[in-house]
A and B are shown apart, each in its own frame.
Chain A
Amino acid sequence: MVVSIAIHSYRGGTGKSTTTANLSVLLAALGRRVATIDLDITSPGLHVIYSVSPQLLKNTLNDYIYGKVDLKDVVLDLTNHLRLPRGKLYFLGSSMKPEDIVKVMREGYHEGFFKHIALALDQEFGVDYVIFDTHPGLNEDTLLAVMSSDLSILLMRMDKQDITGTYVTMQVMKKFGKVCYVILNMVPPNLANAPELANEVSKIINAPVIGVLPFYDEVLSHRSKGVFCLHHPQHPYSTKMLKIAKHIMSLTASQGPMQQATQVA
């Protein structure tokens, strides 16, 4: 049974796409069948990290939403493209054409879309995980994706603006009885070593912290030229991401697809 995961954040620039790409690759490397969907429709960029050229990205999620193509025409199998040793990695990219972006933004998604696509990917491609790389903030369409997912992961930087926004986002999630997990990203290296950091953040945000990723110059210097973990598997960032991937696997294995209730509290 497929498990859907939304990677979300209150603010942009928190590393959602980088985290999504690395996490997806690591789950695949752990033998899972993963589909990654670029839902950051206003500024899609996951295809860049996956080194998917415009020629390869012939059909997009936008075409599927408007019924122009079948699901199989949108799904790219990146397993060989990224030379993954195990598992499967599928990718559904968003259109970069301004006219397509504006159209989806104006009309919005059908609320059943997120559950539909996860089930369709399960049926047609036998995926274990569907990972949504969402658009940041509290807009309705993004919240629909988050609320429709089995597992939600919020990325947060140790920045006052981001902490405040994440706190507010978590208040919204609470209203829906939605359990979220937090990953602290780009944490100043001295602070990342503090053993009590995760606990303090967990207390204020009222959600479990499942990973603390320090800021690494090497990740920044990589400049989205491929998936970092594949290029630098021994780097501390990769080992920490692997730990998070395993943690997610254990969370989803013990609970199964949660299909969390989205009732207003």
Chain B
Amino acid sequence: MFVNSTQGESLRSKIRSTLLEMQTDVQDVDDIIQGFERKIESIVNRLDKIEERLKRLEDLLSEGGGI
């Protein structure tokens, strides 16, 4: 039988007590994630600009009949 038993539950107890004692600062987590989101946003914006430039370049090439 491999169901939970009260004997030898050292890892389970550790998991339980660790989770209960964590005292996570939700505001701190939120600030960190917000900072990360801003970085991702700037990556997306930079990629969008590159894509825009490429598109413009393609349009110019097609107007000029290619290289």
Contact = CB atoms under 8 A, between A and B. Distances in A.
Interface of A: 64-67, 104, 107-113, 116-117, 138, 140, 143-144, 147-148, 158, 160, 163-164, 167-168, 171-172, 175-176, 190-191, 193-194, 196-197, 200, 204, 262, 264
Contacts of B29: 164, 167-168
Given A167-B33, A262-B14, 7 more contacts: A64-B2, A65-B2, A108-B12, A160-B33, A172-B18, A190-B48, A204-B33
Given A108-B4, A171-B24, A200 B11 contact: no
A131 B42 CA distance: 37
B35 to A, nearest CB: 8
A148 B10 CA distance: 12
Contact of B15 (A113, A143, A164, A196): A143
Nearest to A67: B1
B3 A147 contact: no
Interface of B: 1-5, 8-12, 14-19, 22, 24, 29-30, 32-33, 36-37, 39-40, 43-44, 47-48, 51
A193 B1 CA distance: 49
Contacts of B51: 190
Give chain A's interface secondary structure class: helix
A188 to B, nearest CB: 8
B10 A204 contact: no
Contact of A110 (B1, B10, B30): B1
A168 B38 CA distance: 19
Nearest to A193: B47
B36 A110 contact: no
A65 B43 contact: no
Give chain B's interface secondary structure class: helix
B33 A65 contact: no
A175 B37 contact: no
Given A160-B37, A196-B43, A144 B15 contact: yes
B9 A111 contact: yes
Contacts of A160: 33, 37
Contact of B19 (A109, A138, A164, A200): A138
Contacts of A143: 15, 19
